[in-house]
Amino acid sequence: MTPDERYMQQALTLAELGRGQTTPNPQVGAVIVKGGVVVGQGAHLRAGTPHAEIHALRMAKELAKGATVYVTLEPCSHHGRTPPCADALIEAGVARVVVAVQDPNPLVSGQGILRLQQAGIEVETGVLGEAAKAQNEAFFTWVQKGRPFVLWKCAATLDGYIAAKNGDSKYVTGPESRQAVHELRSQIPAIAVGIETVLADDPKLTARLPRATQDTVKQPLRVVFDSRLRLPEAAALLREPGQTVIYTTQFGAKQTEKVRLLKGKGADVMVLPADDTGRVPIAQALTNLGERGISSVLLEGGAQIVASFLQQKLIDKVVYYVAPKVLGDGLHAVSGLNPAAMAQAVELQQVRWLQRGDDLVVEAYPKYTE
């Protein structure tokens, strides 16, 4: 690993401090080095607060002059909720800026780099660029596709069942895996399920962390795809802190009293034109979520909604927990794909294997064919 890569890796590690707190903004880390010594470092910790470069410059003070700055994402060049970081670096008199990856935001997208270069600062890009892009995969998807990054989370037995035939699913996986899922929920701005999951499990769809109170955990937006508006008024998720949005069709919206009651419980009922199957148009719902500033969604089922997402190539990543249990029969994780041959299966790539307690975890990305 070269010195540039080593310092950039340190910046990437710093960027992780903001995971789950900066959305819809990206995670960014910065390190300032002078004479082979780190004189400043920082991370973007929360949306609307100073960016990583500003924290690092404040730490470095006058030592920033003539130094090299390592930053995981191109310094911003526009006035948003905070002033441009490119201007701050120029004013501090840094000599060189090493950027991992260019910002996909059209408001920046090369303008920050150009501004630095026009000020006589040497700029190098692409150092650990793939790692930096992967770290902000949700941000890149949100900016470039206008919709949230969709992460499908599933927990199943060794023989592929997510619940017994009667719907009992408590619990498929062990405590370590369940806690990891709650940590994941706390880092993602929205959780989505189909109405069948709500009717079967009555989930809370909240992040529940040890030694944390409801006031200290930012709860994700709860999203329910409910074409015929069957969500019970007594559903547990309507009693939890945070917000709920229900996507339905004109058919569901005809139940005007039901709409009124759900809105009275704080839910946002969004009516969309039905797709060819009479269901909520998933792609349009995701676009609406993107417009709300939701950069990523955790999809937690059920089987039919997951199949619809896969058919429309809208799942970007999979986190699949496999428990060392055998049911022999039960409910499947996906229902309705019905491929005619193994060659039509959705393949996964960039596969990573982990272990949580006794459970196996597969992290991977779908490889869609055209």
Name residue 274's amino acid.
A
Tokens matching residue 19: 């995971």
- Does the annotation mark 62 as catalytic? no
Q: Which amino acid is at 59?
A: M
Bridging pattern class, strands 96-99 and 149-157: unpaired
Length of the chain: 370
Q: What is the dihedral of CA 165, 170, 172, 173, to 10 degrees?
A: 180
**Cβ atoms of residues 332 and 167 within 8 Å:** no
DSSP assignment, residue 186? H
Q: How many whole angstroms separate alpha carbon 57 and alpha carbon 191?
A: 37
Catalytic residue among 53, 74, 196, 300: 53
- The C-alpha atoms of residue 120 and residue 93 are separated, in whole angstroms, by 10
CA geometry: angle 97, 103, 109, nearest 5 deg: 95
**What CA–CA distance (Å, rounded) separates 300 from 205?**
9
| Strands 317-323 and 359-367, sheet pairing | antiparallel
- 74-221-363 Cα angle (round to 5): 65
Closest Cα partner for 325 from 192, 145, 162, 129?
162
- Measured in degrees and rounded to the nearest 5, phi and psi for residue 95 equal -95, -30
CA angle 339, 344, 346 (to 5 degrees): 100
Q: 190: which 2 tokens?
A: 């929205």
Start-to-end CA span in the chain (Å): 37
Which residues belong to the active site? 53
